[in-house]
Amino acid sequence: MIDFREDPALLLFEQMINNVKFHGSFDFNFVDVDKDNYLNYHTRLIDLVKIGGVIGYDNTLLEWVFDAPLRKYVRLLPCGSSSSEQSLSVLQYPDLTSLVDL
């Protein structure tokens, strides 16, 4: 099921966090809004996306470097690949890793 809502995102996420039925209920969330608030969105989405779920962020990399609002919160780690493609591991929290194929 796709649940599309058009509201101010931070307000909407706060309302969802206050309703326990939404905790861990999302498989996937894609954030394509003001980058300066990505970390605010992320801290709220952690409660809403289920374990093993995916949170995607638009425009977080620009020519191999993190965009300024995120730069101080992430570390880049190389990770192996069985193909000729290189991968980049982005570690934002100790228990949250996402992979981006380059």
Q: pTM for this structure?
A: 0.58
pLDDT at site 21? 93
Q: For the ranges 1-5, 24-28, 48-52, which has the lowest average pLDDT?
A: 1-5
User: In the structure, what pLDDT confidence band is assigned to residue 99 with cuts at 50, 70 and 90?
Assistant: very low
Q: What is the CA radius of gyration of the chain?
A: 15
- Stretch (H or E) spanning 101: strand 96-101
Tokens of 67: 């965009």
Distance (Å, rounded) from C-alpha 73 to C-alpha 25? 26
Tens digit of pLDDT for each residue in 21-48? 999 998 888 888 777 787 788 888 889 9
What domains are there in the chain, each with its CATH number?
A: 9-101 (3.40.50.150)
Candidates 6, 77, 78, 16; CA nearest to 47 is: 16
How would you classify the pairing of strands 26-31 and 49-57?
Answer: parallel
End-to-end CA distance of the chain: 30
Instruction: Reduce the DSSP state of residue 83 to 3 states and report it.
Output: coil
pLDDT of residue 84: 31
Q: What is the mean pLDDT of residues 71-86?
A: 46
